[in-house]
Amino acid sequence: IIINQIGNKTHFPSIYLSQDILKDIQNIILHLTERKTPSHLLLEADIGLEQTSVLKIALQYLSLQIFSISESEEERLQVETLREAVKHSALKENPTVLICSCDQYRSKCFKYIFSLIRYSCCEDLWPPHLWRGILLSLKKDFIGDSHYLEYMDRSEVENIKNIFTENINRYLHICICGTPEYPYN
């Protein structure tokens, strides 16, 4: 599940997670966990400190593992640490949430996400259900754009696309989102 709430004070109005959206997220996650469906939830959010706290409390209540990437933490968060955390979570089949504080161009988040893919895909550490969210970042408009794919070559991107395509019908896929510049659908 990818939830894009992107806001920029200069270019875009700020968009925050409302209580209604939080309730929907809780219901979706509860539905998944009740079905015992292995699910990794990737949240990309720029939602402000207050909203982040509310979201974290809601997710912790649901016993989800949370990994937060913010600008202040970015330098000290290493890819290896996240890889191990994701591997640990995948083995336990617990939902994993990555809450990323994105800048306007989202490149910092993508660098970490793509780094994780690059170092993990060959070792089969991430189960297929995780790819459904990742591909939203690999739409046709982004393929070949070095700004987003500097950590990956075309063969790696194609490999990810193929894995995703083979599994897309097997997993719940929801996208709430977008910006005028990057209108995901």
pLDDT of residue 38: 38
pLDDT of residue 71: 43
Identify whether the C-beta of residue 43 lies closer than 8 Å to the C-beta of residue 51: no
Kindly state the helix (H) or strand (E) to which residue 108 belongs, with its residue range: helix 107-120
Strands in 65-69's sheet, in edge-to-edge order, are 65-69, 96-100, 41-45, 2-5, 175-176
Q: What is the pLDDT of residues 116-160, one digit of tens each?
A: 444 444 334 444 444 433 443 433 333 333 334 344 455 655 555
* Angstrom distance (rounded) from CA 70 to CA 175: 21
pLDDT of residue 27 exceeding 50: yes
| pLDDT classification of 162: cutoffs 50, 70, 90 | low
Q: Which residues of 47-82 are buried (b: 16+ CB within 10 A; e: fewer)?
A: bbeebbebbeebbeeeebbebebeeeeeeeeebeeb
